[in-house]
A and B are shown apart, each in its own frame.
Chain A
Amino acid sequence: MTSKFNAALIAAAAIFCLPASAFATGNLGCTIEDKNLDLDFEAIYSYSDIGGLFQLRGTLDAKSPKVYKSLRKFEIKDDDLRQQWFRGEDLKLMLYRETVADGEPHASVKLIIEAKRPSEDDMGYDGTYALTIEPAVTGSESQSVTVKGKVSCGAG
């Protein structure tokens, strides 16, 4: 009970500390479930002009055996969103994670989502994804593999 109350208090304080323009916020979620990838992605965005997604959460689970072990399944954080374009009918997101631990070889995963909504009234976005896997081998840039599929996102 106390920890729940503390969490609510912290969340309320965090919202209070946001700029005035960020008060009106919405949620964005994207899902992928196929043979290549399980993605459960959520973020908050501001309805104001400030733009951009924040408080990212979810998991990315890449199923290819070429994905380096520490990158196979991870919790998504704000730093993973390297590019975004969320304006008008367009939703474009790039999530990127690479190995960083001492002793780990260089390897990475990059997920690009490109989706559109059919009209201004519709907040459902449909599109495609491309997951590029850079395996942990010498000259891995030339041995990277890209798999593609479909993605659905919703904003509200």
Chain B
Amino acid sequence: MKRTCTALLGGAALLASSLPASATGGLDCGIKDANLNFSFSALFNRGSSQFLDASTSFEALVPGVHPRQVKMDGETLPLTQKWYEGDELKLQFYSELQNEEVDFASVKLTIQTKIDDDSGDHVGTYALVAHGEDLVEVTGEARCIAG
């Protein structure tokens, strides 16, 4: 019963959208290592190339990031560039602080992936560059799943 309701609600949400449901799929990206705990999920419309209902969760584990930028969401760490075409998926998130209390602090997270033939997932790398208490430059592996 619960599964039926979930399916009905999901179907209703898609019907309520003005976009063709057939062209909409889900996307989930994740990074979990010693530097970073990050996730990004969204619905993606292939026709108009729009992300819908996007959700971002960022937590820097590596030291040096400005305390106010250690934990961020989609509002404080917006997606500034994206490319999701063919076998490529690239995402860039950027946040900047500059006010009376903070001279300057920034976080840039760049994810670049390609479809892996074996798994079908988008597999690649991330680069995190932050100007906070220190200059932080770390890289690692990133994976996104589209469905």
Q: A85, B48: Cβ atoms under 8 Å? A: no
| Residues of chain A lying within 8 A (CB to CB) of residue B110 | 87
| Residues of chain B lying within 8 A (CB to CB) of residue A26 | none
CB pairs A–B below 8 angstroms (27 shown): A19-B96, A19-B98, A49-B94, A49-B129, A50-B80, A50-B94, A50-B96, A51-B81, A51-B92, A51-B94, A83-B82, A83-B83, A83-B85, A84-B82, A84-B83, A85-B82, A85-B92, A86-B81, A87-B81, A92-B83, A94-B49, A96-B49, A98-B47, A108-B48, A110-B49, A112-B85, A141-B23
Q: How far is the CA of A20 from the CA of B85 in the complex (A)?
A: 32
Residue A52, interface by CB 8 Å: yes
Give the one of B50, B80, B81, B108 with max A CB within 10 A.
B81
Interface residue count for A (Cβ, 8 Å)?
A: 22
Q: How far is the CA of A83 from the CA of B81 in the complex (A)?
A: 7
Q: How far is the CA of A84 from the CA of B90 in the complex (A)?
A: 10
Interface residues of A in 14-63 (CB under 8 A from B): 19-21, 49-52
The 8 A-B pairs with the shortest beta carbon distances in the complex, nearest first, are A85-B83, A82-B49, A51-B80, A52-B80, A51-B81, A83-B49, A49-B108, A92-B83
- Which of B81, B83, B98 touches A20 (beta carbons < 8 Å)? B98
Nearest opposing residue in chain B for A92, CB measure: B83
Q: How far is the CA of A20 from the CA of B96 in the complex (A)?
A: 10
| Residues of chain B lying within 8 A (CB to CB) of residue A96 | 48-49
| Residues of chain B lying within 8 A (CB to CB) of residue A85 | 81-83, 90, 92
Q: B84, A83: Cβ atoms under 8 Å? A: yes
Interface residues on B, range: 20 to 34
Q: How far is the CA of A108 from the CA of B45 in the complex (A)?
A: 14
Nearest opposing residue in chain B for A85, CB measure: B83
- Which of B47, B49, B96 touches A21 (beta carbons < 8 Å)? B96
New A-B pairs, 17, CB < 8 Å, besides A49-B108, A84-B81, A85-B92 = A49-B106, A49-B129, A52-B80, A52-B81, A82-B48, A83-B84, A84-B83, A85-B81, A86-B81, A87-B92, A87-B110, A92-B83, A94-B83, A94-B85, A98-B47, A141-B20, A141-B47
A78 CB to closest chain B CB, in angstroms?
14
| Residues of chain A lying within 8 A (CB to CB) of residue B98 | 19-21
Nearest opposing residue in chain A for B83, CB measure: A85
Q: How far is the CA of A141 from the CA of B20 in the complex (A)?
A: 10
A50 CB to closest chain B CB, in angstroms?
6
Interface residues of B in 66-96 (CB under 8 A from A): 80-85, 90, 92, 94, 96
Nearest opposing residue in chain B for A49, CB measure: B108
Q: How far is the CA of A137 from the CA of B37 in the complex (A)?
A: 46
Interface residues of A in 72-97 (CB under 8 A from B): 82-87, 92, 94, 96
